[in-house]
Amino acid sequence: MKLPSTKMAAVLIMLLLVIAIIPVGIAMEWDGHTEAEIPAWELKWETAGINGIEEAAAWPAGEWSFIQASGARPLPPPGTASAWLRLSLPPAGANPAILIDKVYGDSLKAFIDNRLIYDSDGDVEYSGNKVLIPLPAQDSAKQLYLWNAGSKEFGIEGEVRVGSYNKLLSFYVKQDLVDLVLGAAMIFMAGALLVCLLFLKPEFFYSGFYLILVIISFGVLLITYSPFLPLIISGGERLRGICFDLALFTLMPAFTLYFEQLFGPGKRGLTTRVRNFQLTYSLFCAGALILNAVLSFRLDALYSFLTINVTGTLMIAQFMYLLYLALSYARRGNTDAIVFSGGFTVFAVVSLSELLHYFLSTERYHLYWWKWGMVVFVISLIVILGRRFAGSHEKAVEYSRELEKFNNDLQRSEKMEIISELAASVAHEVRNPLQVTRGFLQILGERSGNKEKEYLQMAVEELDRASVIITDFLTFAKPGMDTVDVFEVSGELKHVAGILVPLANLQGGSIELRLQKDLQVTGSPAKFKQAFINLIKNSIESLQEEGLIVVTAWRSGESIIVSVKDNGEGMRVSELARLGEPYYSNKTKGTGLGLMVTFRIIEAMDGSIEFNSRKGEGTEVMITLPAFADN
């Protein structure tokens, strides 16, 4: 199986790109860290106005709530818009920093000794993002005050680490940057695939185009969901949310469309109906998005319900339905379904495992590995498309070979038809004069001297040889079975061997028979024997010292197979290719008519003949005939 070079190159580049990214991303995920962790901190809600750091530092210890880092983030009381958090910093070396795993809200400020050391200045809208705050070296082992506010939610949760700024920065960048890299790689793959699709036929273009939509949707979801994106693009949270939603709305129908292109509309067209429903729902959600934007996002609550609760439920149902169908097709031996099920199962198992871990950890686990399951799934989709390309190319090559064989058979048939007509005409016109001439020569031989008799006998022998050639011409011109009967193959082959054993012995060879019993075929026994006499004579003439001809006959299914194998001179590939052509022979005085007659007889019996030979090693002829069906 071989893909066209341009398509093969494109597919390999995309696959190698993804495979090259995977170990890098895994190394990022597993990058160890030994920084000190802060196990707990203190919290005080701010309910009346905004207090400065001086007031916060003066609050007595009894007004602060103790919060464990391993616990869930406490929800703010009604009417609360900000909070103060107090953390005791452990001793740190040179160039220290603090890394907070998840921060929520619109604003974050940090103070040490009533000095402001960090201010987000409202540029970042935190939604579970990491925050890295450099610390002055002289402020190690002191208390850090954080002021956090937000219009919807605020607070911190997860791990809080204190250590070297460089090490924390490396961890801070690596853990979420891989999402952007993978998302960009997905979009790049989709673009490369789109360029390849422009040169394909429409039936391949559409299935490939739906796959491109799936890959682009996954890429956009990865990029817009990444916590790292808000750190390099200030603001734009609303725009990122819109891009995320549009990718989700595209993914649902595109994924089902691609599945439908691969495996059909499903039983009673259910897959097509699911696709139509998803397309309608996605358009409805896109309309709701536009309406919400026109109304200055005053329908956020309703829109969130549609895009989170309803869409999430529909996606789970969609994936379960498609996975069920894929497994059903895979059980029937569909290779594409097996590949799809394998990739989708990896994606589903990894995602489900992480979701279970996430919920069991009271929503404190950060989802990492789902994206690698998604990469495996996307690769499986690309493999399926590549198999379709390869299958199409292989079919085209097969059709080309069949067409070439058909043309060769047609040309051979036309040649044989012309030669048959010519042979029949010549044979009828020449046979009678030859017989008359032979009679006169015999009369002259009776009245001539010894010397003249010798010459006349030679002339009669040549006339007899000419008569045999004319008989071959007639058989070739009219190979049909004059008398059709059911006969035993083994008996006829034994008779042929009995006739030709003396000739084989004269050549220093022998004939060995390995014949099964009860091998019956339909045809003319006389012409059957004529065909095998020609074949075995050719083998005898090719023998050298200690030559051996093995004739084997057996039944295989609904066919009778006869093999004539010798250890004679053998033939070259160029000679094998010309066997059966009119007047071609590799013998000095041969006409090629004997083998042509054999071909015609076997064809008339609805059989086939095949030659295998190597120069210096011998030749094997395999004749396949339909077995007699005794109803």
CA distances from 184 to 8, 18, 180, 210 (A): 22, 11, 6, 19
Buried b (16+ CB within 10 A) or exposed e, 162-200: bbbbebbeebbebbbbbbbbbbebbbbbbebbbebbeeb
Give the residues across from 128 on adjacent strands. Answer: none
pLDDT in tens, 447-493: 666 667 776 777 776 676 666 666 666 555 555 545 678 899 999 99
Alpha helices, H only, 265-369? 270-294, 300-304, 311-331, 335-360
Q: What average pLDDT does range 160-168 have in this prediction?
A: 85
Residue 2 pLDDT: 43
Q: Is 583 left (phi over 0), alpha (psi -120 to 50) or beta?
A: left
Side chain identity at residue 482, one-letter code: D
- Which amino acid is residue 191, in one-letter code? G
DSSP state of 81: -
With a CB cutoff of 8 Å and minimum separation 6, the contacts of 341 are 323, 326, 327, 330
At residue 3, the pLDDT reads 42
At residue 359, the 3 state secondary structure works out as: helix
Estimate to the nearest angstrom the gap between the alpha carbon of 289 and the chain centroid.
38
How would residue 585 be classed by pLDDT, with cut points 50, 70 and 90? low
- pLDDT at residue 208 in the model: 77
pLDDT of residue 86: 92
Is residue 174 pLDDT above 50, yes or no? yes
Identify the pLDDT of residue 368: 67
Which residues does residue 624 pair with via DSSP β-bridges, in sequence order? 561, 608
- State the DSSP code for 307: I
Q: Are 522 and 628 in contact (CB under 8 A)?
A: yes
* Nearest CA-CA partner of 52 in 118, 104, 121, 114: 114
The angle at the Cα of 463, spanning 461 to 469, to the nearest 5 degrees, equals: 105
pLDDT at 469: 64
Cα dihedral 534, 538, 540, 546 sign: negative
Residue 594: CB atoms within 10 Å: 23
29 band by pLDDT with thresholds 50, 70 and 90: very low
Whether the per-residue pLDDT at 529 is higher than 70: the answer is: yes
- Rg of the chain's alpha carbons, rounded to an integer? 44
CA 62 to chain centroid:
67
Q: Return the closest-CA partner of residue 576 out of 609, 543, 531.
A: 609
pLDDT at 410: 64
* pLDDT tens profile 330-348: 888 778 778 878 887 788 7
pLDDT above 90 (res 553): yes
Report pLDDT for 47: 74
Q: How far is residue 237's CA from residue 233's CA, in Å, rounded to a whole number?
A: 9
How would you label 33-51 residue by residue, b for 16+ Cβ within 10 Å and e otherwise? eebeebeebbbebbeeeeb
Residue 333 has phi, psi (to 5 degrees) of 95, 10
Rounded to the nearest 10°, the torsion over CA 390, 392, 398, 399 is: -160
Q: Which of 125-129, 168-172, 253-257 has the highest mean pLDDT?
A: 253-257
Rounded Cα distance, 587 and 73, in Å: 98
pLDDT at res. 49: 59
Cα(192)–Cα(212) distance, rounded to whole angstroms?
9
Q: Is the Cα dihedral 186, 192, 193, 198 positive or negative? A: positive
- The lowest-confidence range among 29-33, 134-138, 235-239 is 29-33
Angle between helix axes 370-446 and 237-263 (nearest 10 degrees) is 30
DSSP alpha helices (H): ranges in 447-563? 450-477, 489-506, 525-542
What's the pLDDT score for residue 335? Answer: 80
> Distance between CA 267 and CA 252 in Å, rounded?
20
Q: Report which of residues 23 and 437 the model is more confident about.
A: 437
CA-to-CA distance for 193 and 557, rounded, in angstroms?
A: 48
Tell me how far apart the alpha carbons of residues 501 and 547 are, in angstroms, rounded to a whole number: 12
DSSP 8-state class, residue 136:
-
DSSP of 26-42, one letter per residue? HHHHT-----EE--EEE
Classify strands 107-112 and 115-119 as parallel, antiparallel or unpaired.
antiparallel
* Residue 92 clears pLDDT 80, i.e. is over it: no
> How far is residue 550's CA from residue 556's CA, in Å, rounded to a whole number?
19
Neighbours of 367 (CB within 10 A): 13
Instruction: Between 276 and 122, name the one with better pLDDT.
Output: 276
**Mean pLDDT of all residues belonging to the chain:** 78
- 564 within 8 A of 610, measured Cβ to Cβ: no
What the block records as the tokens of 77 is 């009381």
Share of the chain above pLDDT 70, in %: 74
Lowest mean pLDDT among 341-345, 581-585, 597-601: 581-585
